[in-house]
A and B are shown apart, each in its own frame.
Chain A
Amino acid sequence: MFFNSLAFAIFLPIVFFLYWFVFNKTKSTQNALLIIASYYFYSCWDWRFLFLLVFSTFLDYYTGIQIEKGKSERSRKFWFWLSILVNLGFLGIFKYYNFFASSFADLLNSTGLKASPILLNVILPVGISFYTFHGLSYVIDIYYKRIKAEYNFVDYSLFVSYFPLLVAGPIERATHLLPQVKVKREFDFEKAKEGICQIVWGLVKKVVIADTCATYANAIFDNYTGMNSFSLILGAIYFAFQIYGDFSGYSDIALGVSKLFGLDLLRNFNYPYFSRDIAEFWRRWHISLSSWFRDYLYIPLGGSKGGIWMKIRNTFIIFVVSGFWHGANWTYIVWGFINAVYFLPLLLSDSNRKNMDAIVLKWNFDSAKVLLSILYTFLLTCVAWVFFRARTITDAVLYLKRIFTNREFNFQYLQNERYNYELLLMIGVFVLVEWNNRNKVEPLSGKRNMLKLALAITAIIAFGTFSDYKEFIYFQF
């Protein structure tokens, strides 16, 4: 059940009605309804994986309590590692086993030893990377005594399985979401209104920007050997907007839907393409994942404390692991590695936190410099996205090489029966709208709300791509 499907358009109002009109007596009834709705939502993908979700939830719930109750450090450690190993074990089997097995076999084959790996014929359970990380952060926080264990199974289950965030995040923290589910929610008109605006804007990003860009990006990436330099550059830009529109659009819808139920989720995107350097980009892109890795990997590894080599090591570890989190493919690992290479000079020169303030432009030289740095950062991210999108590293390298060797900058007719330049105007308008609203969560709320909503709805139904339907990219992670 996709957020932009008819099924969800029916599901959401039903749950909303039941939540506020039937199950609104206590927080327990509210939570019980949301759990039932969430499990139904998840079972629409594949009911068999519901068992995995329930098991994972129960494991973290139980081990969390045991860690808290543990009288000796040894016992606490036992439950802690049990949870970590089982969680990562599931992730490893479903997501990474085939990758490691075939990579190991390739390695042996390259040394002359013959090896044929035993591969598992399993489907990746939707959202496993997200709900596993929910559970991990919860158990780690209990182990380090940052939070108390949750004894109410329904409340805890809701934290893990809450349907707006279940399949593609944002990756929530127990410290943020659990306190909200522990109290009865009262209806708040302003919050619900914000939710509607965020849902509509998320749909604009998904069906108008992401899905339209996807048809062009696919036509270019899938036939890159016949494309000229201009098309290849545009292909990288289109993919940059595809993945941004797709994932941030999903996040906006998730946050908006959650607001309808009175629950705030963590903000996941903050106009990342207006970043002035890569460090700022990573503070604005997939914020819940970046901060997760910062808190549960980078800082425990020593963070930016220690010597220069420690900093370099830790930087590469978190970026490469972050890349690997996205999928079991070398292209994601290289994507993470490239971002680490981008990030490193900023870290080493201690300038990774220099762009923390809001961007204010005036008619002066400094503002021109800011604009250039935004463009430069966008260019760097586009280069990295080529690796993220390409099927293999070789394809990515050849794609980039061809940009420089082809040197033709003509309009080209693509396989999707469109000219390569046709989307530029739409992207330009989208960038302008986002730029003018960069200090807000989304551009639709505020003054002339109904007019802006009407324009957004017009954009969705008139400019959206529906026939060439695409599922959300991040569902595969």
Chain B
Amino acid sequence: MKRFLIYTIKIIVVAIFIAVALDGIYTAIFMQSKNRGKIETVFNSKAKNYDVVILGSSRANNHFVSQMFEDKGLKTFNYGMSGGHLFEASLMLKLMIERKYDIKNVILESDLNLSSDHEAEGIAALFLPYIHNSGVIKKHFSNQENFNELYYIPFYRYIKYDAKIGIRETFFTTIHKKTTALDNLGYYPLEKHKNGNMKNNITNLNPLKHNKYYEEIKNICKANHINFIPIMTPMCENVVGMNYFDKVKKTYPEIHNYENVVVENKYFSSCGHMTDQGAKIFTARIIKDFFKK
């Protein structure tokens, strides 16, 4: 039995050693990531100056045409992330502040995402390789249920989110395989889809009375003298009559309602996402309303 216990302990030690080594290797690889995604790029960047930074989910990523801001002489980048919630948008802004970005305006897409203050696992995972190298990331995750496992167990975060930061992503990061995330200054244009889903029932969706991360973004902007522009972006014809946007306006009167700037289905790729054409109409209106020089 003694031999067996020694044998088992050896295996456990080997397993721990492998986990620590892999953790170190993976983290080192992510630390030099350049052209994979927005989070990695911000983390590995130094102080930048922006006139406009756009934050939010895919409804920010697909709706704000960064180039149109640039054409007006506004240095802009769209940091909207498909699938992201306000949890990630807030952390992204904190990371920029930690990197000493000088930002004049933050446009925050704040509409459907106000209904949740949970993390979006798939996007939040992309911050985790840096949890030991960034105070704000560590702090931001510290209230999460599984923080201790993610922070203290070597390689656990890479196992838990292997689809996002596992071997495949590590390999592509190693060879610097480019993605389209950073193209078009972060804006991702959509095309009209023949079978695009034009139904989205948001009747029972309710904005949280006090969305922690929305308030956090607002406060960060205030503390750093950034002009905060929260905006509700358009949805397709089908949601007309569902009063979600009214509920948002009631709870957060400061959020600008642009729900009806574009309504015709021909400008939508799916109910919650405009086509490039729709996005351009919408962006033109935003620029006109907020950045008229």
Contacts and interface: CB of A to CB of B under 8 A. Distances in A.
A192 interface: yes
Contacts of B22: 458, 461-462
Contacts of A418: 168
B159 A464 contact: yes
A427 to B, nearest CB: 15
Interface string A438-457: 00000000000010011001
Interface stretch (A64-72, A375-383, A465-473): A465-473
B14 interface: yes
Contacts of A466: 159-160, 162
A82 to B, nearest CB: 45
B167 to A, nearest CB: 5
B8 A196 contact: yes
Given A187-B4, A450-B14, A463 B167 contact: yes
Interface residues of B: mostly helix, strand, loop or mixed?
Answer: helix
Contacts of A193: 4, 7
B163 interface: yes
B18 A453 contact: no
A189 B5 CA distance: 10
Given A187-B1, A192-B4, A463-B167, A457 B18 contact: yes
B139 interface: no
A454 B161 contact: no
B69 to A, nearest CB: 30
A24 to B, nearest CB: 10
Contacts of B7: 189, 193, 196
**Interface size bucket, A side?**
20 to 34
A78 interface: no
A453 B11 contact: yes
Q: Which of A418, A464, A465, A466 has the most CB of B within 10 A?
A: A466
Contacts of B159: 461, 464, 466
A81 interface: no
B74 interface: no
Nearest to A191: B4
B188 interface: no
A186 to B, nearest CB: 10
A461 B159 CA distance: 6
A474 interface: no
B14 A453 contact: yes
B245 interface: no
Contacts of A422: 168
A238 to B, nearest CB: 16
B3 to A, nearest CB: 5
Interface string A253-275: 00000000000000000000000
A461 B167 CA distance: 10
A330 interface: no
B39 to A, nearest CB: 17
A197 to B, nearest CB: 10
Contacts of A461: 15, 18-19, 22, 155, 159
A20 interface: yes
B62 to A, nearest CB: 18
A204 to B, nearest CB: 13
A451 to B, nearest CB: 9
B176 interface: no
Nearest to B125: A467
Contacts of A465: 162-163
B159 to A, nearest CB: 5
A60 B103 CA distance: 76
Contact of B14 (A457, A467, A468): A457
Interface in A418-443: 418, 422
Contacts of B18: 454, 457-458, 461
Contacts of A454: 14, 18
Interface in B1-53: 1, 3-4, 7-8, 10-11, 14-15, 18-19, 22
A359 to B, nearest CB: 32
Given A450-B10, A457-B15, A461-B159, A189 B167 contact: no
A468 B164 CA distance: 11
A196 B15 CA distance: 13
B11 A196 contact: yes
Q: Which of B3, B14, B162 has the most CB of A within 10 A?
A: B162
A462 B10 contact: no
Contact of B160 (A20, A458, A462, A467): A467
A189 B4 contact: yes
A458 B25 CA distance: 13
Contacts of A464: 159, 162
Nearest to A188: B4
Contacts of A189: 1, 3-4, 7
Interface in A165-224: 187, 189, 192-193, 196
Given A189-B1, A453-B11, 7 more contacts: A189-B4, A192-B4, A454-B18, A463-B167, A464-B159, A466-B160, A468-B163
Closest 7 pairs between A and B when the two form their complex, measured CB to CB: A467-B163, A189-B3, A457-B15, A192-B4, A466-B159, A454-B14, A467-B162
8 contacts: A196-B8, A453-B11, A454-B18, A464-B162, A467-B161, A467-B162, A467-B164, A467-B166
